[in-house]
Chains A and B, each alone.
Chain A
Amino acid sequence: MKVITANFVTCAVKECKTSPTSFPLHFHDAELEMQELDFQPEFIRNVIPRIDWEGLRVTANELGFPSLPESKPEGEALGDEQTLKDLHRLLLETQVMEGKLICGNCGHEYVIKEGIANFLLPSHLV
């Protein structure tokens, strides 16, 4: 699972959606792997405005990456190739292969196995 994916998922439990603590889900025991991908600066530049920056900061921190700047790169900063390369590496090339994603509201744990996260709920949570 790419790191960027964590920015666009939350708890599958309906009641958690309205709770601010359900986003982002929290990584535990994450095993990372780098998978090289073509660097497309235009893609990163277009996607950044749609990223929940606060959420990404939490995720990056949990995965042990150096702190991201407090505010999202905008305008001129998006012209800086190094900034875009760093984000490309974090968002698209960093894969969580094994681990868990835990909801901060209900505590449910979603398992990531061989690079794929499973959001199916057990019947008592449906």
Chain B
Amino acid sequence: MSHAEEYEQQNVHEVYQQIAQHFSATRYKPWPIVEQYLQNLTPGSIGLDVGCGNGKNLLVNRNVFIIASDRSENLARIALQHQPHSAVVADILHLPHRDGYFDFAMCIAVVHHLSTPERRVQAIAEILRTVKRGSDTQPGGTVLVYAWALEQKNSRRGWDKGDQQDIMVPWVRKNPTAPEESQTFNRYYHLFEEGELERDIESAGGHVVTSGYEKDNWWAIATPKVKVSP
């Protein structure tokens, strides 16, 4: 295991295994852009939700089929209940899916957990690999990516441009009957600065179709770059 892998194992994967239940109870509403993206899909579209968490984004559209995956088995198990979709345990850097096969893929609030620039680009490239390549006659599949923003001075965290981008964020699991038994878990995050997500997508071989800012996150919709025929 490389140093980065070990670091993420300890500071991301194990934390989510521990906080899965409580985390899930606080995550129930998809963000508006995610909701809109999913509602606009053609019925019968097949797609992926990489890093699905508790599967809250699986509730939006029952006319498409989503294979959701998460690195945390505890979270993937919670996601399993959302019909008609499906959930498996998988790693974002080694997805168990064929090349160029899917109509869409989303990766919401996940790539900010990878601890080096190379691994973040590799993760985006891995997701781009799974969606259909476009041609002159047919549009390709699309990928929706969200990552936590550095610029969020109005949030309760209050970070802004110029602040440290690689940080540990505490998750406090309160015990209502015994406050002294509350536990704090620290998760690693890389906060994306303005324009960084778009740059990473380009480096990963993607073409940014549209991008923006919503709820303290940068987001982008991208497609695999079309190879220009000579």
Contacts and interface: CB of A to CB of B under 8 A. Distances in A.
B63 A43 contact: yes
Given A8-B67, A12-B94, A120-B90, A115 B44 contact: no
Contact of B94 (A1, A42, A92, A126): A126
B118 interface: no
A14 B95 CA distance: 9
A119 B84 contact: no
A23 to B, nearest CB: 6
Interface in B170-226: none
B94 A117 contact: no
Interface residue range, chain B: 20 to 34
B163 interface: no
A13 B94 contact: yes
Contact of B43 (A14, A46, A114): A46
A5 interface: yes
A121 B71 CA distance: 11
A119 B87 CA distance: 11
Contacts of B69: 119
A121 B80 contact: no
Contact of B86 (A2, A38, A46, A110): A2
A116 B94 contact: no
A47 B96 contact: no
Contact of B88 (A4, A119, A123): A119
A74 to B, nearest CB: 14
Contacts of B157: none
A5 B67 CA distance: 7
Contact of B44 (A10, A17, A50, A120): A50
Given A42-B43, A116-B76, A118-B73, A12 B98 contact: no
A56 interface: no
Closest 10 CB pairs of A and B: A46-B44, A119-B96, A119-B90, A12-B96, A5-B86, A118-B89, A12-B94, A9-B96, A46-B43, A117-B88
